[in-house]
Every structure is written in C-alpha cells, then in structure tokens.
Structure 1
Amino acid sequence: MTNRVLILGGRGRIGSSVAQDIATHTQAKITITGRSPGNEGDVDARWLTTKQDWNLGTEVEFLVLDLAEVDRLQEAIANSDLVIHCAGPFHYRDTKVLEICIEKGVNYLDVSDHRSYTSKALNLDAQAAAANVTAIINTGIFPGISNSMVRQCVEQLDQPEKIHLSYLVSGSGGAGITVMRTTFLGLQHQFEAWIDGNWQLVKPYSEREIVNFASPYGRTGVYWFDMPETFTMPHSFPSVKTVITKFGSVPDFYNHMTWIAAHIFPKWLMQRRAMIEFLSHVSHFMTDVTNPFTGIGVAVRAEVTGQKQGKTAVYFADLMHENTALASGCGTGSIAQLLLEGKFKKPGVSPVEEALPTDLFIETMKSRGIEIYCNW
C-alpha cells in the first residue's frame, strides 16, 4: 500500500523542501497544507507547479487547513501514516498536533527549533511510547543534521566532555519570512546554557567567536544563540559538561545589525509582534538584494572534546550545502524515508541525536549527495 504523508505548513520554503525530498526519495502520497489556497505566482508553492518536470511518479495534493480547525486536523492526521509539522514559528506552538498523532497512532516529525516547544513535546514521551508512536523532534539542518553530526563525533570518543556547535547561513538561506521571525524571536530573552556542569544564563548574540568553517566560508564570526540542542544534548550525552551553540551570518554586517537588535534596541520594543514583523520583512528584503552575491548556503561545524585512550582529544565534523532550505528538507526527509521504509522506529518522543543511529544518518546523507567531513 502507498504511504500517506501529511506536511503541515508545507507551502513554506522549509515545508516545500521537505516535500520535495520525500517526493524524490519515496513513492509516498504527499498532502501539503496551508491556511489559504495561494496561487501559481506564490514562490513558496512554485515547486508544485513544476513537479512534472522532475519526472516523479509521486502523487501530491494540497489541502487548505488551519491548525485551529481541530476536527479537520484530526481527520487529516487519522488518514495519514506520517505527519510532518513545518508550521512555525514554534515559539508560539502548543503540542496539539503531536497529541492528536499519539491519539491516532500516527508517527510524527517536526522542524521545531525552540526549547519551549521542545520541552513541551518531550513531556509526551511516555504517552507516545505507550501508543507505539515514533515522534522525532528538531529535525532539519540545525537543529537536525547538526545533532547527528554531534552524535557521530561523540561516538569517536571514550568520554565526551564538551560540545561546540557553530552554524553559518549566507543571506536568507533560501528560507522565508518565518525563519526571519525565528531569528528575531530568539533575541528577546537570556537563555540557560549547560556550561561547566551548571545551567548558566547567557545573553543572545553575545561573545563573538571566530570559527574556521569549511570552504568557501573560512574564518567567520559566530555568536551565542538559543537552540534546542543547548537544552537536549546534556540529557542525550550525560558525560558532557558544556554545550555551546553559536550562529552567524554572511555577509558579516548582518551579524552587527543582529547584535544591535539584541543589545541596543529596547527589550519592550523587541517583544512586540509588530516590531518582529517589521524587522523580519526588512531583513528578508535586504537578503533578496544580497543573495545573488553571497549565495544562500549553510555551513555547520561540530567540535567535540573528550577523552580517547586516556588522552584529551578533539573530533570535528563539517558540512557545507549551497542551499540552507534544501538542506533542511534533506534532514527531515531522510528520517521520513527511514520511517516509511520501516528501517527505523523508536517509540516515544526523542530529539534527533538520541534517536537516529549514525550508520543510517551517513547512509541517507550520502544518498542525497551530502558529505560530512570528519577529522581529529
């Protein structure tokens, strides 16, 4: 029988990239949702109008659906084998979709990227396990592929002690307004980070650090940024005493503008939705101008320090992709493929680094032409 995949928020840049990956690597019947019908001029839906150009046999449908329509949402989930939640920003989301999936016995993935949602989802672990539902949260590129890169590094050491994750995005990264909103929402509050075995408050976009990313990026500045990995990895890898997550942009002047938004703008102003919308749209317009010069790629560098045969050692993993949104689609789509093919199952609610075995991660990345470069 044909597998049925429901992608909530599937007309956005990330959601459509997930749909494209699943359409490329599986024969699943895909239904994507949006709150309005859209039209052929909608850039975020354009891949649907050119699906035949890929010579794919996959069937794709569009469903107008608002997540507030609980009855229709329940019906759509009940008629699916896998639900993928791409309707961010997740700062505002409750776990209604996940709860319905558990109730209906349907496997679940999401591209959530904020610890508030992550913590709420993890509280449903026992219910998901009892229902034999596999729910993997924080899939995508970062979080997502980045988490599996860390696991790959951790497994090379006898005792991992410190995780340092750095992310770099060129221009818009090929993403839409929602990702811009996520960035500015992440600047509103201090957050807890696991440092030297204690939870310590950290200011967002602080402590600039120069990281040597893979070519063509090289040495570039990154800053503290609140990511779910900061919250989940101390639990996934109990011997680790420090987890650092830092983010940066290309060109570098975007970093300085973001720093100003985080440290100079009044907090009360940054906490207004109207201000977030204004900054998001202005930033998206600016990246539309610079994208032709900078590209829309992403680089991730994972660095894990620990003990190897009684000595301190550092293991690195690097990734570079020319399109951030497509890379995110690969991260989520690869896990969807494994679930649909029956190669992977982990009842309960889990972050990626806790759930996905490294051999399957490497296998699916290679099938998508994504190389992870590792070294001591």
Structure 2
Amino acid sequence: MTNKVLILGGNGRIGGSVAQDIATNTDSEVILTGRSTASKIRDIQLNHQPNHKLNPQLRFLSLDLANIDKLASEIAKSNLVIHCAGPFHHRDTKVLELCIKQGVNYLDVSDHRSYTIRALEHHKDAVNANVTAIVNTGIFPGISNSMVRQCVEQFDEPEKIHLSYVVSGSGGAGVTVMRTTFLGLQNSFEAWIEGDWKIIKPYTDREIIDFPSPYGANGVYWYDMPETYTLPKSFPRVSSVITKFGSVPDFYNHLTWIAAHVFPRSWLRNSRGIEFLSHVSHLMTDVTDRFSGIGVAVCAEVTGTKNGNSLVCRANLIHENTAIAAGCGTGTIAQLLLEGKLRKAGVFPVEEALPTNLFLESMETRGININQDWI
C-alpha cells in the first residue's frame, strides 16, 4: 500500500519544499494542509514552483489545527505526520500527542527551544507507543545538527562546538520566517559556556566567520536556536556550545541589531509590532533577493583532542536556496522513516536520531555536499 504523509502547514514555503522532496524521493501520497481552502493551498503551492508544475503525488486539504477531531482523523489515516505550521514559539504539542496516541511517526521543523523542551517531555510516552518522533529537522536546526555530530565523532574528546549560519535575504521562505527572527529577539537565553549555563543577550558579540565562496567573511551574532539547548545534552562531554546567525547583505544585521537593542521592548513583545517588522522586512527582501540571492551557508566547527593532539574539525555546507535545503533536511528523515531504514522509539533532536552514514548518503543523493576538513 502507498504510504501517506500528512504535512501540516503545507501552504508555506518550507512545508511545500518538504512536500516536493518527499514526492521526488519516494512514491508516497503527500497531503498538504492549511487553513485556506484546498484550492487556495494548491494555488499557493503552484506559485511557489519555479516551473509552475506540481508533482501529481501531492494532494491538498483544508485543515485548521484548532479542529482537533478532524486533525485526529487525518493523523489516523497517515503513516507519517510532519508539522511545518510555525512559528513554534507559542505552539503546544497537541499534534505530537495525537501522533503518539495513534501510533503514527512524527517530524517537525520546529526552531525554538521552548517548543523543543515541551516536545522532549513526551519521550517516555513515545517509547511506550513505539513511535519515532524527531524534532528540529530542516536546515538549521536540522542538517546543521548532523554536521556537528559528524565532526564530534572524529574526536577522542570533543571540547567545544561553534555553529554559524548565514542566510541571503529572505532565504526563499515566507513571512513566517521573518516572524520567527523577530520573536527570537524578545528574550535573553541560556547557553552552555565553559561547563555552565550562562545568560546571553540575542544579537550580541558580532564575530566574523570565513564561509566558503560565494559568501566569504560575514558577520554573525548570538542567536537562540534549539541546538543551543540540545547539543550540550546530546554531547555531554562538550564544555561549550556557541550558535550564531547572520544575514546577507550585512546591513540587515545592523537593522536586526537595532531592533534587538534600540527599539522599545514593547515593539518586540507586541504581536502587532512583530507583524509590522516582519512584513516590512519581507518587502525589503523582495527587492534585495534579486541581488543577494536566497541561499544559505552553514559552518560547524568542533574543537577537541584526537590521538593526543588538539585539533579543529570543520564542516561546511552551501546551498543556493535556503527553503529547498530545509526541505531536503526534513525530506531525508521522512524518506528513511518511510523506507524503514530509521527507527528509534521516543522523541529526539535530529542529532540523536540520525546516524552519520545515513545522513551523508542522503545528502549526496540530493546533491548537497558537506565539505569536512581539519584546521
């Protein structure tokens, strides 16, 4: 029988990219949902496709997550549920709980520690139900986590993780990603530094990272990502985990810094303020995307000891379209689950669930090169 994959939030750029990856790499039927009518979801997806053609495996369904009965019914008909309906800052774990209750495997593209913490609390329930649930899939978090695992495994004693990301313009994503960016500036957060949890202010401590061509030297800043929380727990021997984010062109970094440190705090704590900043930013990237592109660069550096020597292992990834890269990250894990190659009962961040060999093989089939070297 044909597998059925239910994608919640399928009318967004990330959900649509996940759907296209799964339809390309499996023979599954993929159901994309949103609060709009099914025809409108289809039209949105059609407009997101470069050649304005949809894969015939895709089906469209109007579904509001607040309609619990209909949501539960659709989950029960599925082999895999993928939650792409962000922002996740204030999402509850109802979808995950329904999947566990009905014995259906679960993935999401969540990108905030508050949701990650709530999701991981359901680990024992997922184990008892023999459900594999993996959170934080995508590009960052997601592929970035696996790049860290790839480097950590090279050491006898890993000591420090430094993750940096830079995105060109909008990254090919929608206004939801803009909302996520500004929501991430609302509060200080804890980071694991020199063996202790320390309070960090978002968008501070600018650092220049030399990314591979065409990015080169770019500024990145402290930013609260789920990896800041999960990586110290996944790799407990590591004493420090640093996660930094930046934008291209660089003036977006300065504008974001101003939003974080100069604008009245009420602007970032008010939903209307977030909406205003998000829509203005999205309009700006509509213009600059033509010049900057919509790609992404990820650099994972792990410092540690190997054969008695102190070394740094560095993994780099470059992709021309951030949204498509995110689709590949989630689609990879979906394919492995559907094919029975990945099975791990419980709720896990991606770096604990996905073995490095399967990660690298899947990236290669999608034309994504992870370049690793020693510095």
Task: Give the TM bin, normalised by the shorter chain.
Answer: over 0.9
Question: In structure 2, the residue corresponding to 1:14 is in which secondary structure?
Answer: helix
Structure 1: how far apart are the matches of 2:346 and 2:339?
19
Within the candidate set 228, 251, 254, 2:252 is matched to: 254
Question: What is the Cα-based RMSD across aligned positions, in Å?
Answer: 1.4
Say whether residues 1:180 and 2:178 are aligned partners: yes
The answer (yes or no) to whether the contact 2:13–2:48 under 8 Å persists in 1 is: no
Unaligned runs of 5+ in 1: none
Say whether residues 1:331 and 2:329 are aligned partners: yes
The answer (yes or no) to whether the contact 2:295–2:320 under 8 Å persists in 1 is: yes
**Residues 77-92 of structure 1 mapped to structure 2, 5 A cutoff:** 77-92=75-90
Within the candidate set 290, 298, 301, 2:299 is matched to: 301
Residue type matched to 2:47 in 1? Answer: R
Say whether residues 1:17 and 2:11 are aligned partners: no
Residue type matched to 1:200 in 2? Answer: K
Is the alpha carbon distance of 1:78 and 1:320 closer, same or farther for their aligned partners in structure 2, counting shifts above 3 Å?
A: same
Within the candidate set 362, 368, 373, 1:370 is matched to: 368
Shift of 1:311: 1.7
Post-superposition Cα deviations, 1:144-188, rounded to whole Å, max 9, x if no partner, equal: 000000000000111111000000000000000000000000001
Unaligned runs of 5+ in 2: none
Normalised by the size of structure 2, how large is the TM-score?
Answer: 0.97
After TM superposition, where is structure 1 displaced by more than 4 Å over at least 4 residues in a row? Answer: 40-45, 47-51
Residue type matched to 2:165 in 1? Answer: Y
Aligned length: 373
Instruction: Give the match for residue 289 of structure 1.
Output: 287
Shift of 1:325: 0.2
The answer (yes or no) to whether the contact 1:186–1:226 under 8 Å persists in 2 is: yes
Structure 2: how far apart are the matches of 1:271 and 1:3?
42
Post-superposition Cα deviations, 1:47-80, rounded to whole Å, max 9, x if no partner, equal: 57967x57x5x52211100000000000000000
Shift of 1:45: 4.4
Post-superposition Cα deviations, 1:20-46, rounded to whole Å, max 9, x if no partner, equal: 000100000110100012638954443
Structure 1: how far apart are the matches of 2:177 and 2:267?
20
Question: Percent of aligned pairs with the same residue?
Answer: 68
**Residues 152-163 of structure 1 mapped to structure 2, 5 A cutoff:** 152-163=150-161
Post-superposition Cα deviations, 1:297-341, rounded to whole Å, max 9, x if no partner, equal: 000000000111112110000000000000000000000000000
**Residues 1-376 of structure 1 mapped to structure 2, 5 A cutoff:** 1-37=1-37, 39=40, 42-47=43-48, 53=53, 58-376=56-374
Question: In structure 1, the residue corresponding to 2:205 is in which secondary structure?
Answer: coil
Structure 1: how far apart are the matches of 2:343 and 2:219?
38
Shift of 1:266: 1.4
Shift of 1:137: 0.2
